[in-house]
């Protein structure tokens, strides 16, 4: 498969999956398994670090929509992370 034939929705789905996992760890969303909210800042930080790494490793290889999505998700999650005591 060539790099241009990949489904672009897969990248967005992957980013949003990491964002959702981070929001669960920040206590912003219920855990889908036990329906409870809890804060696990260490795990949230790991997910944010993964998104930072993804942004760095894909620099120059994303279209404008993908780049904006990653940037927006990272900024939003870092702001939410900073607000957790």
75 inside domain: yes
Q: How many domains does the chain have?
A: 1
- Residue 2 has a pLDDT of 44
pTM of this structure: 0.86
Tell me how far the alpha carbon of residue 48 is from its chain's centroid.
6
| Rounded distance between C-alpha atoms, residue 26 and residue 66, angstroms | 24
Tell me how far the alpha carbon of residue 85 is from its chain's centroid.
21
Q: Which domain holds residue 56?
A: 8-83
pLDDT tens track for 19-73? 999 999 999 999 999 999 999 999 999 999 999 999 999 999 999 999 999 999 9
3 inside domain: no
Residue 61 DSSP class:
S
Lowest mean pLDDT among 3-7, 14-18, 35-39, 80-84: 3-7
23 inside domain: yes
């Amino acid at each position: 498969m060539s790099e241009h034939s990949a489904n672009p929705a897969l990248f967005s789905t992957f980013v949003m999956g990491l964002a959702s996992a981070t929001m669960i760890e920040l206590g912003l969303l219920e855990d889908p398994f036990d329906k409870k909210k809890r804060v696990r800042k260490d795990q949230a930080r790991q997910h944010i670090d993964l998104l930072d790494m993804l942004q760095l490793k894909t620099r120059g290889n994303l279209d404008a929509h993908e780049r904006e999505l990653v940037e927006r998700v990272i900024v939003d999650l870092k702001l939410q992370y900073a607000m957790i005591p």
